[in-house]
Structure 1
Amino acid sequence: MKILRSSSEAEMILCFLKAEYTSPRFAEDLHAAMAKCHAEPSLILSGDPENAEENALRAEVMGQFRGYGRDEELFRNFPVGEASWVYAELEAEDLRKIRYIDYSYWNEISNGTSCPLDAVENIRADRRIFEVPHDRFLAGEQFLREGGKFPPIVLLWSEKGPYVIVEGHLRMTSYALAPEYFPGTFCYLGTCSQEALKRWNVNYD
């Protein structure tokens, strides 16, 4: 991994929301959260992570959307305010170091390893976890092979173990299906204590 510059939790939140703004799975919920917070699309699509007022509203949207700052949903036990953040470029060898979040679907599809590379066999064999089809992963793979570029992913680690995906599970699975397109991927990487990371992601080792 090549560290390109320092970042911030506020910039991570902006990246997270941008990536999910058009997500087939999450966009509807995000747009509903924005409406409840009276947030305009420009808050995300052309947001400024140096603007404190914008950052406060984006944090509110993230709380409504995924439980950030409320100790709920994805962000239950998340080390809010405890991690230091950087913007980085990932290298080929980093792919094996990345792990899914501790969640039943991702545990099953990776045969218990949480490694996206280990999900490939099940996807290629069309072994469906909880009857969920693999179309979205295969579409992501095709997108990469046709020259498409994914937005940055969000990762968290403790300097003593693998990188855990905070945002970008589908994209990382698509990279596992087409690993030759992974080098040069950008990410926002948060570093926190091992204890803090294990509170959020129980299976972190």
Structure 2
Amino acid sequence: MIQRFASKVSIVALGVALAAGAAFTASFATNADAAAEAAKSSVSAVFKQMNVPVEGRFSRFNADVHFDPANAAASSAKLDVDVASFDLGSPDYNKEVAGDEWFDAAHFPHATFVSTQIKAGANGAFTVAGKLTIRGKTTDVVVPVTYRKDGANQVFDGALPIKRLAYGIGSGEWKDTSIVADDVQIKFHIVTAAH
């Protein structure tokens, strides 16, 4: 039961993570080097189950990212995540987390993030404000992101803390945060072709 629960939470966490943190993740889905860039990128969510860190990843998402480090204010990012693609390494766990107690992928198949403002900070740091929607619940989030050039690529890294229960992830008995924590850390490493 604990393992089953951990899987569910992982998917929830990752779903939020991908949706919230991956504003930059999807730019690789819109250019000719999509496959190579996707292979270099990752989005994960980390949470604690019985005080032990658990991490999971999403495998399918699409986005449209236009990023110019010299003109952050004119940059934008949109992301659409297939919540049923969350992978915990077990088909049974993955199916369970996509179920109605967690992501309810049958009714809410996509998690989305749409940027509303991107601001430049110091030393390659940026903040991306936007609307994150999971299970039909939309909240305002601000994602801290670091940026660097790597040859012909742009590389984005960041982490965003969220609360899974704010999105209704984990209903019924799964609302108990003493077993699966409410806190989720969304981590991402995104590689895209420079435009």
Identify the structure with the greater helix proportion: 1
Bigger relative contact order (CA 8 A; separation at least 6): 2
TM-score (norm 1): 0.23
Identify the structure with the greater strand proportion: 2
TM-score (norm 2): 0.23
